[in-house]
Amino acid sequence: MKRIIVSMLLLLLLAGCSSDRNMFIGEWTGTSTDGEKMTFKFDSDGYVTLIDSKGNVIGGKEFKSGNKTMSLKYTVNRMKDPVWLDFTSVIDGKETRQIKGIVKFADQNSMQVNLPFDSRERPTEFSGKDIFTLKKVR
């Protein structure tokens, strides 16, 4: 009986994690507070691709950087206020660095993201240079 209850709880937890991502899935584009244009593509498998204004692509399920194979994953925790959005880089199959961010939605098609790329600390408010105001494109 305990095994069944534990299995059901795990299934509910996993279902909740994927539903947390549902609000992000798609292509979002916008500008940071310092004028940097960026596109974020969130997929349903938990990978994110970043494309800057020059067309440089970082992330996704698999990309090359030098001789290394990399990917960029994202996780969402809607139980936190503001919502937590974390990016994790994976190099040759090993998680290497996490960028801890926060998000607030204005509506289902626009959000503000604070992702301090140069810090290991999670921000607590929406201030600084790494705040992106994004609109959902598709």
**pLDDT at 1 > cutoff 90:** no
Per-residue pLDDT tens digits for 53-91: 999 998 999 888 788 889 999 999 999 999 999 999 998
Per-residue pLDDT tens digits for 44-53: 999 999 999 9
Where is pLDDT greater, at 30 or 117?
Answer: 30
Q: Which domain holds residue 22?
A: 2-136
Distance, in Å, from the CA atom of 81 to the CA atom of 96, rounded to the nearest integer, reads: 26
- pTM metric for this prediction: 0.81
Q: Specify whether the CB–CB gap between 117 and 129 falls below 8 A.
A: no
Secondary structure element (H or E) that encloses residue 97, with its range: strand 94-107
Distance, in Å, from the CA atom of 33 to the CA atom of 119, rounded to the nearest integer, reads: 17
> 51, 49, 52: which is closest to 61 by C-alpha?
49
The number of domains in the chain is 1
3-state SS assignment for residue 10: helix
Burial class (CB in 10 A: 0-12, 13-18, 19+), 102: buried
DSSP class of 22: H
